[in-house]
Structure 1
Amino acid sequence: MAPIIAENSIVLSADDKDSTLADRNTHATRVAGKDADPEKKALFANVTKRIDYSPKIGTELHGIKLSQLTDQQSEELAAFIAERGVVFFRDQDDLDYKEHVRLGRRWGPLHVHPLVPHNQDNPEVIVLDSRLSRFNTNDSWHSDVSFEPAPASFSILKFEEIPEAGGDTIWSNSYELYDDLSQPIKTLLEGLTATHSSDIFKIQTQDSGRKTFGKLNDSEHPVIRTNPVTGWKSVYTNPVFTREINGVSASESKWILDYLSDLVTKKLQYQVRLHWERNSVAIWDNRSTFHTGVPDFRPYQRRGIRVTVSGEKPFYDPKSGTQAKSWEATAKAIIAKQDAAAKAKEDAASKVSATTA
């Protein structure tokens, strides 16, 4: 059986030789960013401008070329992404397929998706083309490939073609989702696991008849997981891939999943939104964020490429910290800076008043 290949060398369906590509997926053997310099001096030495989209999630960095990062800068960037959830870069025209793959491999083994179309020469590079609409997850909050035994740590997405209007992507902070839960709900969820399934892709194979690039897995993960880089707790369920909460009734499972999904959708303070430009890149931590595309760009088209880094098997450490606790020191520093600026302004005004009196 020959593979189905679309324009631009996009492989849509496996042939017999490539039908086990995704079965080679494995877990990371180290935690990228865990031992990075907490101050990230090497990374920020090249940053010319930093724009925080919100206090706790989302940052845009200028002055960085992702294709030119040193090993130390790469490690510090991994740590920064784990802290900020998602980091954005503009004007990354030199991040071609080769450099895209090289950057991802610095942080771990790259995932080969069992169904989504990929580049013929680089099966780790998946192609998100709106013309292949049955494969997109627009308007569906999710964490990439959470159905795998070792789901994604980082995802690196670059858009080569963008619509004239619409087509944004939104991320939501699952650290903050955990932090805002009441203690009784936290205690309940910390003792639970959930089954994450690839059912959505199984349905697509049945409808399309296309052969997969490997096994479509189901996996069990903790509902609350610990990010190994930050040590913070986050909620790890999502509407696309989480089939059920284990060990509870079907109605209880539905209530829990619906409740958490409702918070992700409605709590605007958890969210940041990126308006894409050509050659923009977003890198996010799937262990601590959810994301969704916004399906508002028809009749325009968009086309992006993504590599996905396989992480560790999800775990929960009861001794884990939280973003909220770590944020306390930052918040105090911000308040102190604002108070100092206000006092300086008052002092300056007093001096002017005294001079003119």
Structure 2
Amino acid sequence: MSVTAITTAEKIILDASQQDEALSDRNTHATRVAGKGADPEKKALFASVTKRIDYTPKFGTELHGIRLSELTEQQSEELAALIAERGVVFFRDQEDLDLAEHVKLGKRWGPLHVHPLIPHNQANPEVIVLDSRYQPPARYNTNNSWHSDVSFEPAPSSFSILTFDEIPESGGDTAWSNGYALYDGLSEPIKKFLEGLTATHSSDNFKVLQALTGRKTFGKLNDTEHPVIRTNPVTGWKSVFVNAVFTREINNVSQAESKWILEYLHDLVSKRLDYQVRFRWAKHSVAIWDNRSTFHTGVPDFKPFFRRGLRVTVSGEIPFFDPNSGTQAQAWEAEANAIIAKQEAAAKAKAEALEKASATTA
């Protein structure tokens, strides 16, 4: 592999033969749940927000006025909680989020994951490099396969933080799908059925790539069992937790049944537009998402242009399912009712004002 096209002077490690083969052996799980104890109103965080844009009522938010490199510890905790609730949060104009600040931000929420195969920065192996020039490009940043980052790990990612230092002139968006909404949209019998199942998540695609190329890895290519329905430890909401890239099979059912279940769920992830948001990248934009309750995919529509990004992935908790946990739909019902009540009150006040004005002019 050639690195001549890399747009920074920092050396990029492409293959474990160039460095330590056991880097990802340092991967571990979070020792605390970032955001779980945050202020529900997030007063410290929103005190710095000058503009908030919710992409849909339940999913995806863009915040303006926040400098990610200047977050206080309280703001950091509240941001972690907001990301868990909204799925993905976007920021613009983060020029001062350099490599060191990128790493520092991720470490606020837990230990950083070292990917076993994807190229990384030499000084900071936790920073992976997503460059569409790498071969084969379908495995680095240009695939249209919905997934949750490194779900094959025993303690998969909680959060991922991504920014691009090179963006195409057009195309190259990233899309996210809401795992909470996917669960909430299922019928009650299907929910109960899936809640009793586990699935095997594997790094099979990386194993195939390794066999084809002869590349050495930076650590273990794991296979791990996780619950099909997962409880997010921050929100306490249920989410579907299987994905098209890393979930090999549903356990304890036939191969045909496993295939049917996975294809049905993957189809909902990719085709239900009401579950999705899409982000148009700009220089110095940042996206942070919760891998426990979302799926994402790059959109490979930007040839002949290139894009190059840097990502840190925060290792989270061992996935679990709590049958007594709640749902986003339940939490949203109270908020939606409050919005409706506010709209009705405003409409009533407007009608009364018009009636009063008519009486005065009569």
Indicate whether the TM-score tops 0.5.
yes
Structure-2-length-normalised TM-score: 0.96
For the residues of structure 1 that align with 2:57 and 2:71, how far apart are their CA atoms?
26
Per-residue deviation at 1:120?
Answer: 1.1
Matched residue, 1:15? 17
Matched residue, 2:133? 131
SS, match of residue 339 in structure 1: helix
Aligned counterpart in structure 1 of residue 213 of structure 2, from 208, 214, 217: 208
Q: Which runs of 5+ in 2 are unaligned?
A: none
CA contact (8 A) 2:152 2:223 kept: yes
Alignment coverage as a number of residue pairs: 355
Deviation string, structure 1 residues 2-53 (Cα, Å, up to 9, x no partner): x986643111101375100011100000000001111111000100000000
Aligned counterpart in structure 2 of residue 113 of structure 1, from 112, 115, 119: 115
CA contact (8 A) 2:13 2:19 kept: no
Runs of 4+ that moved beyond 6 A: none
Matches within 5 A, 1:9-158: 9-15=11-17, 17-132=19-134, 133-137=137-141, 138-158=143-163
Per-residue deviation at 1:159?
Answer: 1.0
Aligned counterpart in structure 2 of residue 340 of structure 1, from 334, 345, 357: 345
For the residues of structure 1 that align with 2:264 and 2:283, how far apart are their CA atoms?
36
1:227 to 2:229 alignment? no
Per-residue deviation at 1:316?
Answer: 0.5
CA contact (8 A) 1:47 1:61 kept: yes
CA contact (8 A) 1:108 1:309 kept: yes
Amino acid aligned to 2:15: S
Matched residue, 1:270? 275
Per-residue deviation at 1:210?
Answer: 1.6
For the residues of structure 2 that align with 1:163 and 1:355, how far apart are their CA atoms?
61
For the residues of structure 1 that align with 2:312 and 2:18, how far apart are their CA atoms?
24
1:218 to 2:215 alignment? no
Matches within 5 A, 1:317-328: 317-328=322-333
Per-residue deviation at 1:352?
Answer: 2.6
CA contact (8 A) 1:134 1:204 kept: no
CA contact (8 A) 1:4 1:13 kept: no
CA contact (8 A) 1:90 1:279 kept: yes
Per-residue deviation at 1:134?
Answer: 4.1
CA contact (8 A) 1:4 1:12 kept: no
Report % sequence identity: 75
For the residues of structure 1 that align with 2:187 and 2:329, how far apart are their CA atoms?
13
Amino acid aligned to 1:330: E
For the residues of structure 2 that align with 1:223 and 1:345, how far apart are their CA atoms?
49
Of 343-352 and 84-93, more deviation after overlay is shown by 343-352
For the residues of structure 2 that align with 1:143 and 1:89, how far apart are their CA atoms?
21
Deviation string, structure 1 residues 298-355 (Cα, Å, up to 9, x no partner): 1111111000000000000111111111111100011011112212221222233223
Matched residue, 1:196? 201
Deviation string, structure 1 residues 114-137 (Cα, Å, up to 9, x no partner): 001111111000011111114325
Matched residue, 1:294? 299
Aligned counterpart in structure 2 of residue 162 of structure 1, from 139, 143, 167: 167
Aligned counterpart in structure 2 of residue 256 of structure 1, from 257, 261, 273: 261
For the residues of structure 2 that align with 1:120 and 1:260, how far apart are their CA atoms?
38
Deviation string, structure 1 residues 161-204 (Cα, Å, up to 9, x no partner): 11111111111000010011111101110000000000111111
For the residues of structure 2 that align with 1:195 and 1:4, how far apart are their CA atoms?
35
Amino acid aligned to 2:173: D
For the residues of structure 1 that align with 2:138 and 2:188, how far apart are their CA atoms?
40
Deviation string, structure 1 residues 131-163 (Cα, Å, up to 9, x no partner): 111432521000000000000000000111111
For the residues of structure 1 that align with 2:166 and 2:75, how far apart are their CA atoms?
28
Per-residue deviation at 1:212?
Answer: 0.9
1:304 to 2:298 alignment? no
Instruction: Give me the CA root mean square deviation.
Output: 1.3
For the residues of structure 2 that align with 1:340 and 1:165, how far apart are their CA atoms?
44
Matched residue, 2:290? 285
Q: Which runs of 5+ in 1 are unaligned?
A: none
Deviation string, structure 1 residues 183-230 (Cα, Å, up to 9, x no partner): 110111000000000011111112222211111111100000100000
CA contact (8 A) 2:50 2:65 kept: yes
Residues 16/94 of structure 1: CA separation in 2 closer, same or farther (3 Å cut): closer
Per-residue deviation at 1:356?
Answer: 2.6
Structure-1-length-normalised TM-score: 0.97
1:314 to 2:316 alignment? no
Per-residue deviation at 1:251?
Answer: 0.1
For the residues of structure 2 that align with 1:347 and 1:204, how far apart are their CA atoms?
69
